Amino acid sequence: MKKVQVKLTIPATMKQDLENVAALTADSIQTIIKGYVRDALYVPKQGPPQSPPPRAHRVAEKKNKKKKKNNNPLTTNETTLSPDFDPPESIARKYNLEHHGAFKRFRDWATAKDKKFTDWDDAFARACNTWLPEAAPELRLDPEQELYASDRTGVDA
């Protein structure tokens, strides 16, 4: 193998880095450069980094995992509307609704659809906050109207 001399011109910072590597490895700068050139020329190049293969979609055994309603009376706390259920008036008042009308409308809805809830006060409150004001706009109280129509004495002030 015939040897040829090659001269390199490198920046001062690169020369300093080469001197540091040479000091650490106890080799000369020429030996370090020969090693890098040999590695660059004779080590087979690997292609560009390959991305992982695309993941296959799961088709088999794909099931919709919908939460099934538990109809077992031994494991659920949901009950139908009790005949003696009477929600506090403060719930309807909080949503600016007339209590007796809102309760009657809610009771009719719950019994007609055989609804079951664990907390009927909460169900009434959600109804007062969501669908009742739109379903029965006549139940809305005016902000200036007295909250308790039953508290009127019949004497105008």
- Rounded to 10°, the helix 29-42/12-25 angle is 100
Q: For the chain, give every domain's residue range.
A: 12-42, 89-148
Which residues, other chains included, contact 131 with Cβ-Cβ below 8 Å and sequence gap of 6+? Answer: none
Chain segment 49-105, per-residue pLDDT in tens: 777 777 766 665 556 666 666 665 555 689 999 999 999 999 999 999 999 999 999
Q: Calculate the alpha carbon distances from 28 to 125, 148, 149 in Å.
A: 85, 100, 103
Residues 6+ apart with CB under 8 A from 93: 99, 147
Taking only the tens place, the pLDDT of each residue in 99-133 is 999 999 999 999 999 999 999 999 999 999 999 99
Tokens for 60?
A: 């088999």
Confidence of residue 145 (pLDDT cuts 50, 70, 90): low
Q: What is the dihedral of CA 148, 149, 151, 154, to 10 degrees?
A: 160
Residue 85 CB burial class (10 angstroms; 0-12, 13-18, ≥19): middle
d(CA 75, CA 77) in angstroms, rounded, equals 7
- Give 97's strand partners: 140
Q: What is the pTM of this model?
A: 0.46
